[in-house]
Amino acid sequence: MQVLHTIRQWRDYTQGQRDAGASIGLVPTMGALHAGHASLFGEAKSRGDVVVATIFVNPRQFGDPHDLTAYPRTPDDDRVLASEHGVDCLVEPSLAEMWPDYPNPTPTTVTVSGISELLEGEGRPGHFDGVASVVAKLLVVTGPCRVYFGEKDFQQIAVVRQMVRDLALPVEVVPCPIIRDRDGLALSSRNTLLSGAARHQALALSHALASVTDHDLYASQARRVMRERMQDAGVQVAYADVVDPITFLPTRDDEQGERRALVAGVVEGVRLIDNARIVVAARRD
């Protein structure tokens, strides 16, 4: 596995691979790698891609400086996991490489309006501007590729997909299934910040989703059930919503069909998210 640190090395590597006839599979990460990331590496490898993983903790998507400082960083372990799971090239760019003006504001920002202003975007103003800006840069430097994201960050995938479409980037966005621990908790780098008791409490998010899956509920019922399930466990609820999986607009009670249930909550100061596909019924009074 090659380990690169500069944009020039990274760009030369991916172009050289394409010149040799290979396709590139890009897996953007912020490190603290786990089995969920390994599944993305495996999916890229199974499609015949040369797997390029990036590790960069992007300050522009953190509104809270404490959250940025507390974000887990495990560089030595990350290199081992990436090497063992098929990564051909690991890119670890410095902050100066990615955002040369930091900590001053970076003049160029990519904004995807609409989707970015809902749910996670409403609770974390500017978050998706930071995400879209850094992913745009990753894609521009990498060049034509497939880019792999886990569906735990379902709204993020929608933002990236819209950006790729609007900017006509030569990129295929590949969503991959959520990877869960045996008890159902969605794998996340942030899980390492939880105590044992808090981790058990965090199961309320996946339990809330399970409580509305495969049940004959209309949207407002599903919202209430999920919120109550999380509150009963002591989770500070950020949102519990049922939305159209494309527009992310809230589902009305007179609508039915496949939708996405999304939840977010704070446990022991750590913000966690989860989601699931559900089918809702139409309310008929």
> Taking the domains of the chain in order of start, what are their residue ranges?
2-176, 189-276
Question: Rounded to whole angstroms, how far apart are CA atoms 172 and 170?
Answer: 7
Q: What is the pLDDT of residue 235?
A: 97
Q: What is the pLDDT of residue 214?
A: 79
What's the rounded mean pLDDT across residues 55-62? 97
What's the rounded mean pLDDT across residues 93-108? 96
Q: What is the pLDDT of residue 216?
A: 85
For 172, phi then psi, to 5°, come to -105, 125
The catalytically annotated residue of 34, 37, 127, 207 is 37
Q: Is the pLDDT of residue 13 over 90?
A: yes
Q: Are strands 145-150 and 171-176 parallel, antiparallel or unpaired?
A: parallel
pLDDT in tens, 126-171: 999 999 999 999 999 999 999 999 999 999 999 999 999 999 999 9
- Find how far residue 40's CA is from the centre of its chain: 12
Q: What is the pLDDT of residue 284?
A: 79
Q: Is the pLDDT of residue 117 over 80?
A: yes
**222 residue type, one letter:** A
- What lies within 8 Å, CB to CB, of 108 at 6+ separation is 133
pLDDT band at 283 (very low <50, low <70, confident <90, very high): confident
Q: Could you tell me which of 20, 24, 30, 73 has the C-alpha nearest to residue 47?
A: 24
Q: What is the pLDDT of residue 215?
A: 79
| Reported CATH class of domain 189-276 | alpha beta
Confirm whether pTM is higher than 0.75.
yes
85 is catalytic: no
pLDDT in tens, 249-277: 999 999 999 999 999 999 999 999 999 99
Mean pLDDT of the chain: 96
What CATH fold (topology level) applies to the domain 2-176?
Answer: Rossmann fold (3.40.50)
